[in-house]
Structure 1
Amino acid sequence: MKFAVQSRNDPQSNELMERAIGYLTDFGLELDEEKPDIVLSIGGDGTLLHAFHRYTHMLSEVAFVGIHTGHLGFYADWQPNDIEKLVISIAKGEYRISEYPLLEVTVNYRDSEESFTYLALNESTVKSSEVTLVMDVVLNGRRFERFRGDGLCVSTPSGSTAYNKALGGAILHPSLEALQLTEMASINNRVFRTVGSSLVLPSHHHCLLKPVKAEDFMVTVDHVQLLHKNVKSIEYRVAKEKVRFARYKAFPFWQRVHDSFIDSDLKD
C-alpha cells in the first residue's frame, strides 16, 4: 500500500508527520506523494481541504484519514496520541470506506463557450465585486427568485457544519445526496423579496445563478478564492465524484456535532 501525508506545517503536526512516515515505512508501506492509496491529513479541517484539492484528479483511487492537532475537526477522527493505533490499523488494512457527496461548480462565460468546473468538499460562495449581489436563482430550469444581498453559499452535506451553519443553514447528515443554498444577508422589504430560508436540493436537481447587472464575481471553492469576469451563469449540482474516507473506528456524526457545538464534556 502507498501513502502520502499532508501536514498543517506547525511543529506538532510536522513532528507527527515524521513519526507517521517512519512507522508506516517500518511496516512496509511505501511513501508515494504522486499516487497514494491513503492520504493522512495532520492538522485540522483546513489541512484536509488542502489535501482534498491536491488529489481531486484521483478521488476514486485515494482515501483520506485525518489526525487533528488542534480543535476537533469534522474530518479528523484521530488524536495525536492515537498515532500508533492508527498506523497499525492502516498496516493491517483494518478500515472501511465512507463516501460522501461533493459539489460540482461550473462557471460559464458571456460570448464564449469556455467554462471552468471545480469540485468543492465544503462549499462554494458567490459575492459581487460591487456592494450588492443581484442574481436570479434558477432551479431546474425555472426562475425561483431574484436575490439581492451580500452573497450566496452552496454547501455539501459534509460542509453544512462549516460556513453554511454560520449563515443559519441547516446541518445535514453527510450521507445525504444533496446540496444546500443559503443566503448571506438578503435584502427583504416591500419591493424586494427572497424566500429567506435555506433550500435543500436532492441530487437530481440543480441550481443556476444568473447575473442581473454585474458580470464580475468573487467565487470561492472551499478555501480557494477566484475572481471570474464576464460571467454568464454559475451552475451547482451534486457531483458524480465522491470523496472517500478511511474509517478505522466508529465516530457517529451526531456525536461529532454534539461535541463540536454543544459540550464535549457533557455526561449522561
Structure 2
Amino acid sequence: MSDLPIQRHRAILDHLERVETARTVELAALLAVTRETIRNDIAYLAGRGVLRQVYGGAVRLGLQEPDLQARLATNIEGKTRIAKLAASLVPDGSRVALDCGSTTLALAKELRARVGLKVWTNDIAIAQELGNGAEVVLLGGRLALAQNITTGPDATEMMAGYNVDQAFISLGGLSAAQGLTDFDREGFSLRNTMRSAASECFFLADHGKFGRPAPLRWKSPQTASALICDRAPGAEEQAMLNHIGLRLLLA
C-alpha cells in the first residue's frame, strides 16, 4: 500500500462503504501503516466531514442513533408491549437500574404501579416519571441536555458502587454480522456497569433495531438473562442469538 495520504484516505473510505465501521488496528493492518498514522488519517477525514471518528476507530456517516424526539415518536405500540413484559419481571420492593431511552421510559411508566422500588437511572425523564412513588437515585455526571440525561465517567463510577436486582438496557442495534451493538462510548460504559451491578439483566430492542449497525459491540452478551423484543428477528439474527446463548422473549 502506498504511503501517499490521498491513497490511504480513499482506501479508508472505500473500506467503510463495505463494512460501515472499522477499528484503528484493523485499518492499520489493512494499509500496512502504524496505528498513529491511521488515527491522524481518521481525524483528518472526520474534520472534512466524510466519516465519523469514534473511540478506537471510524464509522461511515449515517450510522448514528436517531435523536430522542424521533425515538419517542417511533413504534410506540411495540415499545409499550416490551415495557409491559419487562415490568412483569419486576416484583414489588426491587432494586432496578434503568438505562436511558424511549423504551426504558415506557418501562418506567409501567413501573409506577410497583410498591417499594428503588431505581438507579441517568435519564431525567425516567427519574421524574418514578420520583413520586419510588426512591430514585439520579446518577451524577455531565448533563447532556439534548438527550435529557447525565453521562460520562462520573455517572459510571457512581453506578459501580451499587448492587441491583434487575437492569434493563436498551440496545443500539442487533444484526447477524455484528451481534448486539451500541452507538456511544460513554453510554456504553454506563450500560456495561449496570449489567455488572445486576443479578439479572435484560436487553430491550424493538424491531426497528433489527439489522441496524452500530460501531460498538457488546462482549459476552450471554451474561444477560434475556433479550426482550416486540417481534421475532429474522432467521439469521435468531441464529446469532442461539449461537451466543441469549434467550429471546417476545412481547
TM-score range, shorter chain: under 0.3
Higher relative contact order (CA 8 A, sep 6+): 1
- Larger C-alpha radius of gyration, 1 or 2? 1
Q: Which has the higher helix share?
A: 2
TM-score (norm 2): 0.25
- TM-score normalized by structure 1? 0.24
Counting strand residues as a fraction of each chain, which structure ranks higher?
1
